[in-house]
Structure 1
């Protein structure tokens, strides 16, 4: 059984904090569950263009408000507590947190994150094989 609390992650390598977002990585590839789980904070006013070409991501918002724009269609979906979205087609998108509000979300990735990922210039994480090769 794996049991963790957010307090155990803050300030460790599992707590990746950037100018626009912070990702607290609870479950990683090393846990051998076949997926990863993060508690992610999209900071107030952040606007992130991303495309997870090597991962499928499902996101559940439980705090704050913003929106996600599907760049293939131009459709903008509001995000608020209780909203779930899945990037099932490696969808290129823009995620925005409203000014005056951050968004806090639970994110599930498949294949699982190793824990060392950061977004590249296209907004993607490297393929898991590439991450494991650089870690070894």
Structure 2
């Protein structure tokens, strides 16, 4: 059994930060669950371009508000506490927060913990740990 608390992740190598977000990586590839599990904060007043070409992601908002805009069709979806979205087609998108958003995220294939967005908003596919 794996039991972890968020306070044990914050400030460690399992927390990755960027200008617009912080990702606290609770489960990673090395945990051998077949997915990775993240507690992520998207900072208020920011916009993040994301395009997970190598991963599928499901996201559940547990606090805050903002929106997601899909690049392919320009559709904008509001995000509030209780909203789930799944990037089931590797959807390129913009994620905007009007208030800090706390998101619970699942990635398949699982992240190793070393990933961060490249200039196109993509996480690389890292095979080795």
The normalised TM-score by structure 2 is: 0.98
Asked whether 1:119 is paired with 2:95, we answer no
What residue in structure 2 maps to residue 109 of structure 1?
A: 107
Q: Secondary structure at the match of 1:103?
A: strand
Alpha-carbon distance, 1:69 to partner: 0.2
What residue in structure 1 maps to residue 60 of structure 2?
A: 60
Counterparts of 2:40 and 2:12, CA distance in 1: 15
Counterparts of 1:59 and 1:9, CA distance in 2: 19
Query: What are the residue-to-residue correspondences of 1:1-136 with 2, within 5 Å?
Result: 1-98=1-98, 101-129=99-127, 132=128
Q: Secondary structure at the match of 2:37?
A: strand
Uncovered stretches (5+) of structure 2, i.e. residues with no partner? none
Count of aligned residue pairs for this structure pair: 129
Counterparts of 1:35 and 1:3, CA distance in 2: 16
Alpha-carbon distance, 1:127 to partner: 1.1
Alignment deviations for residues 13-42 of structure 1 (CA, whole Å, 9 cap, x no partner) = 001122210000000000000000000000
Runs of 4+ in 1 over 2 A off after TM superposition: none
* Contact 1:111 1:128 survives alignment (8 Å): no
Alpha-carbon distance, 1:128 to partner: 2.5
More strand by share: 2
Alpha-carbon distance, 1:93 to partner: 0.3
The normalised TM-score by structure 1 is: 0.93
